[in-house]
Each structure stands twice: as structure tokens, then as C-alpha cells.
Amino acid sequence: MEPVVPLPLDPSTLGSLTASAKDYAVLSGLAYLTDDPGDNTDLVSFAPFALLPSPVPRALFDQARAVQQDFNLLVHRVSHDRAFLTRCLSSVVKVDHFTAALFHIYEQVQEEGVTQSICLGLHRSDYLFDTNNNAVIGTKLNGVTANRELQLKQTEINTIAAAGAGFGEKIASVHKHVLSLLGITNAYKHIPENRALDSQVDGFVAAWEQYGSQKAIIVFVVEEERCRNVFGQRLSEFTVMERHPSITVRRYSLKQIAEDAELKSDKTLFIHGSEVAVVYFRTGYSPDHYPTEKEWIARLKIERSRAIKCPCISYHLAGTKKVQQELAQPGVLEKFLEDPKAVSRVRATFVGQHTLEMGLEGDRTVQMAMRCPEDYVMKPQREGGGNNIYGEDIRTVINKLKGSEERTAYIIMDLICPTVVQNYLMRPGDRPKLQGSSCELGIFGVFMADGDQVLHNKQGGHCLRTNHSSTTAEGGITVGNAVMDSPYLV
Ligand code: ADP
Ligand code: MG
């Protein structure tokens, strides 16, 4: 696709633009802790970002927003189907110790009886703009004519630690400023309103109110060490308290919760004398987040409590790659969504996903991936970027695992080939680099239900992350290889 202005920019324009944009970014809250070789945790820089917004087809953007409530409902229904979750994950838990430990907590609370029927979901559904054009051109989707060349294709839905709401919202004003410096005065027509942070905060407040205790607090579960992306978390935390001064948000690590939180006999959770209404996980989705038994004790303690969890363990499990692969099989969505239009909206965003279960079907996947590994991505049950396997590495890994049950820890997904656009990627301490980049659009979902009764189901704004296209397809701004961006609708 074509960039929003002809590139490259002349050096003097680029110089003054980048200086303004960096300062504007910091002033907007787009900040990161820098990697400091010493122990200084006070060093702050701007968070990596794209100098210009990236073009995004308006029809695909609308399509992504229009399907979010369906995804919210889908996650909820899937998470409440114990037989389905158990069946999907039965092979994975035999070989993947991390998923097994999560599943064990799930089973334990199911057996004890779930003490909190209210679930809060703050999800993010991620999409690439696919150039693999094998669908009928110009078909109508939800009344919107699909883009002639590109298709919206989901990479995954995140049900835990779906970061990026704060930065996603803030970067738009940096980009409007940059465009006005370039003399583009109608940017407001192209840069869509983004209430990602506010929508997320609406979710926290709604859950806190639903819990129904004026004195209770919201706990953000965070990493032990101050993490690079602390400011993204702080934006959410401070906005809750600003919007609703009677709510206190406190940050604790899993270790602190293991040591200091108390579960009363009625399953009320207390920490340092405060009752906990809502627990929001910004950690806990990777094996590294559980270095000792203590972190697992904390996770179980939270799960058994009356606090509203975001996410509860069943939402976490519903977001695993294996469950997403199963949902992509023919006939499965229909079990969870009664509206055929919702089913087609969701299915239209899927690419093929293939099982590696032991048996004929899994063997077929092995053969297919071995034949053309460059057409697939191999994914383990992990979150946070950097875990996927591509190309020739798929062959190597499958060769090692193909006859063993270990292969069932992974799924195989068709490779999406995202469109490439030029942009200047800005990273602290580095000159702006003009690079061919691909964008991943994240749409936030805010959902709350009490059992089967849906209390809140919203599409909650967006974020765009842009990545140098010659690196692997991996995004994940917090692992340092994608930058924040915003969509410029075309
Ligand atoms: P994680 O949970 O680690 O974020 P993802 O499924 O989101 O796992 O994959 C990580 C990154 O890999 C994505 O951000 C995207 O850039 C890339 N990716 C994922 N699935 C595909 C796919 N099917 N085709 C191309 N790239 C993909
Ligand atoms: Mg991801």
C-alpha cells in the first residue's frame, strides 16, 4: 500500500518532524523504561512508534470492529463449556506442563464450585491485512463491500494481558500533530476516534460496581520487577482512579499475593487489610511468570476467591492456541453462536488451522507442513510473542516431534502474508529508519457477564502495531520488535 505522504521525506523536514513527534509522544504518555545496564530504574524514553500513521482499508477496519462483540460472546460461551475445553486441551495438558498447571487450577475450582459467577473480559483480537487473495473479490460482508485486494485475517484473540489500550489511544494525537506539521489538515477524517483506554476503564468500573462493596479495591497483578511497559499499565491504573476517585487501584506481584493475601472462609480476598473486588492480570500468561511454587499458590488463591477476575482461568484457557484451532474447524462455531450472521462474521476472519493430535488428521497436518513449511506458522500454547516457529524451522521441529505426543503441544496455522507499507520506525537512541513494514490491528473487546446473563458487551477501541517486514512476522511491542502506530483509514 502507499504511505500517507510520499516518502522519503527530505532530511530537514524529517529532522524537525521527528523531534516534535518524540516530544509529543512523551508528553502524551507514550513512554518506556529504557534498558539500563546498571540498576537505574528511573531512565525513561519514548515508546517505539511509527512516525506516520499507516494506511488501513476502512472496510477492513469496520469489519474488525463489527465482529468484536461476536468474539466477546464466543469467548464467554466457550469458557463456560467444560466438556469442550477439556476435550480441546486433553492432549495438550499431557505434554505441556504450563497449560497443564493452568488446567489443574481450572479443574480444582470447577470441582469446588465457582464462587464468583461474574466474569470480566478485556480481550484484544489481532488481525493482519492479508494479500493471499483467494476469496471472491468484492463480496459483501455485513453490508460492507470487502476490500478488493486485502482481507482481514485474525492471528489470534488475546484473553489475558491484552495490552496496548492506553498507547493505542494516545498515539493518534501524536499522528494528528505530525500530519498537521506536514500540512495535512483533514487528518481527523482519516484517523478514527479511539476510546480504547476509556472503554477499558469502563469495564473496570462496571466490574467494581457489580462486586458491590464501596471499600473494595482493584488489584493489578504485575511482574516483580518494574517492567518496561509500566507506563501502559499506569495509564489504565491512573485513569480508573481519576474517573472514579472512590476506587483505589493497587499493584501487587503474584509473590506478594501468595505471601500477603488472605482468603476468608466466605472466599472474600483481602490484601493488606483491603477487600479485593477485581483482579486484573498483567502477568501470569507465561511460564517465566511462575518462577517458584509461590506464584502458582497465588494464582489458585485468586481463582478460588470471590474477586472478579480479569481474566478468570476459564477465559485464559479459552484463549489458548489449541482452543482457537478447534474453533476454526467446520461446524464448531455453530455450537456457540446461534446467529448464523455472527458465525459468518467470525469465520470470515479465520485462516486454516490444523491439529497436530495423534492420529490420521494430525499425520496429515505433519505431511502438509513438511511439504511446504513456508506456508505455515507453528504455534505452541504461549503468549507474549517470540514463540512461533516459521519456515525451515518447522521442518526441523516436526522432524524431532512427529512420531511423539510432544507434537500435540503445538498447532499449525496457515501463514498470513501481510501487505507492506513504507514508514519511519522510531526507536529510542536510533535514527528514524525508513522501512517496509506490516501492521497488525488489535480490536479491544470489553465484556462482562454473570453466568449466562450478559451485562456488558462492547467493542472497545483499537491499537495498531507495526513491524519491520523483513524481520519475522512476530509483533509484540513489549518484546521490542514492533512499534506503536495508528490507522489512517483509506
Ligand atoms: P502470541 O501469543 O505470542 O502473541 P500470536 O499468535 O499473536 O502469538 O503470534 C505472534 C505474532 O506472529 C503475531 O503478532 C503475528 O505478527 C505473527 N503471526 C501469528 N499468526 C500468524 C499467521 N497465521 N501468519 C502470519 N503471521 C502470524
Ligand atoms: Mg499475539
Using the atom order of ligand 1, give the atom closest to the CA of residue 418.
Answer: 25
In the chain, where are the structural domains located? 11-351+416-489
Query: Of the ligands numbered here, which is closest to the C-alpha atom of 383?
Result: 1
Phi, psi of 270 (to 5 degrees): -120, 140
Structure confidence by residue, pLDDT tens digits, 188-246: 899 999 999 999 999 999 999 999 999 999 999 999 987 888 999 999 999 999 999 99
- Give me ligand 2 centre to Cα 270, in Å: 33
Q: State whether the Cα torsion 382-386-389-393 is positive or negative.
A: negative
Helix (H) or strand (E) holding 362: helix 360-371
What pLDDT is attached to residue 413? 98
Grid coordinates belonging to 205: 468500573
Helices (H), 261-359: 293-304, 313-318, 321-327, 333-336, 340-347
Answer yes or no: is the C-beta of 383 below 6 A from any ligand 1 atom: yes
d(CA 431, CA 428): 8
- Identity of the amino acid at 366: V
The C-alpha atoms of residue 27 and residue 275 are separated, in whole angstroms, by 35
Query: Which pLDDT band, with edges at 50, 70 and 90, does 475 fall under?
Result: very low
For residue 388 and ligand 1, the question of a CB distance below 6 A is answered with yes
Contact between residue 63 and residue 146 where contact means Cβ atoms under 8 Å apart: yes
Q: What is the mean pLDDT of the chain?
A: 93
* Distance from residue 473's CA to the centre of ligand 1 (Å): 7
Element of type H or E holding 62: helix 58-66
pLDDT band at 476 (very low <50, low <70, confident <90, very high): very low
CB of 385 closer than 6 angstroms to any ligand 1 atom: yes
403 pLDDT more than 90: no
Q: What pLDDT, in 10s, does the model give residues 256-265?
A: 999 999 999 9
pLDDT at residue 145 in the model: 43
Find the 477 Cα to ligand 2 centroid distance in Å: 10
Q: Would you state the cell numbers that stand for residue 93, as one nine-digit string?
A: 495438558
Q: Is the CB of 198 under 6 A from ligand 1?
A: no
CB 377 near ligand 1, within 6 Å? yes
Q: 190 vs 473, which has greater pLDDT?
A: 190
Cα(24)–Cα(10) distance, rounded to whole angstroms? 21
Per the CB < 8 A criterion, the answer to whether 75 and 318 are in contact is yes
Ligand at shortest distance from the CA of 131? 1
pLDDT in the model for residue 133: 60
Candidate from 127, 132, 150, 156 with most ligand 1 atoms within 8 A of CB, to mutate:
156
**What is the β-pairing status of strands 54-56 and 487-489?**
parallel
Whether the pLDDT of residue 30 is over 60: the answer is yes
Report the pLDDT value the prediction gives residue 8, as an integer from 0 to 100.
98
Q: For residue 65, is pLDDT > 50?
A: yes
Tell me: pLDDT of 352 over 90: yes
Strands (E), 88-235: 118-130, 140-141, 144-145, 151-158, 217-221
Beta strand 217-221 with 274-281 is: parallel
Provide the pLDDT for residue 199: 98
Query: Which atom belonging to ligand 1 lies closest to the Cα atom of 351?
Result: 23
Residue type, 396: T
Query: Which of these, 379, 381, 459, lies nearest to 199 by C-alpha position?
Result: 459
- For the segment 452-471, the average pLDDT, to the nearest whole number, is 92
Mutate to test the pocket of ligand 1, among 382, 388, 463, 484 (most ligand atoms within 8 A of CB): 388
| Residue whose C-alpha is closest to residue 484's, from 431, 423, 430, 416 | 423
Is 475 touching ligand 1 by the criterion CB < 6 Å?
A: yes
Distance (Å, whole) CA 482 – CA 164: 12
Q: Which atom of ligand 1 is nearest to the CA of 415?
A: 24
- CA-nearest residue for atom 25, ligand 1, is 416
pLDDT tens digits for 297-321?
999 999 999 999 999 999 999 999 9
pLDDT at 138 over 70: no
For residue 478, pLDDT beyond 70: no
Report helix, strand or coil for 335.
helix
pLDDT band at 139 (very low <50, low <70, confident <90, very high): very low
Distance 440 CA to ligand 2 centre (A): 9
CA distance 331 to 338: 12
pLDDT at 34: 85
And the C-alpha cell for 48?
Answer: 517505539
Mean pLDDT of 149-164: 95
Give the Cα separation of 149 and 137 in Å (integer).
7
Higher pLDDT, 442 or 403: 442
**Ligand 1, residues 98, 125, 127, 155: which to mutate, most atoms within 8 A of Cβ?**
155
pLDDT at residue 479, as a whole number: 44
- 155 pocket-lining for ligand 1 (C-beta < 6 Å): yes
Q: What is the pTM of this model?
A: 0.95
Determine if ligand 1 sits within 6 Å of the CB of residue 415.
yes
pLDDT for the residue numbered 142: 46
pLDDT at 37: 63
pLDDT band at residue 144 under the 50/70/90 scheme: very low
Which amino acid residue places its CA nearest to atom 11 of ligand 1? 474
SS3 category, 94: helix
Per-residue pLDDT reduced to its tens digit, 431-451: 999 999 999 999 999 999 999
Of all ligands present, the nearest one to the C-alpha of 382 is 1
pLDDT bracket for residue 140 (50, 70, 90): very low
Under 8 Å between Cβ of 237 and 249: yes
**Radius of gyration for the alpha carbons in the chain, expressed in angstroms and rounded:** 22
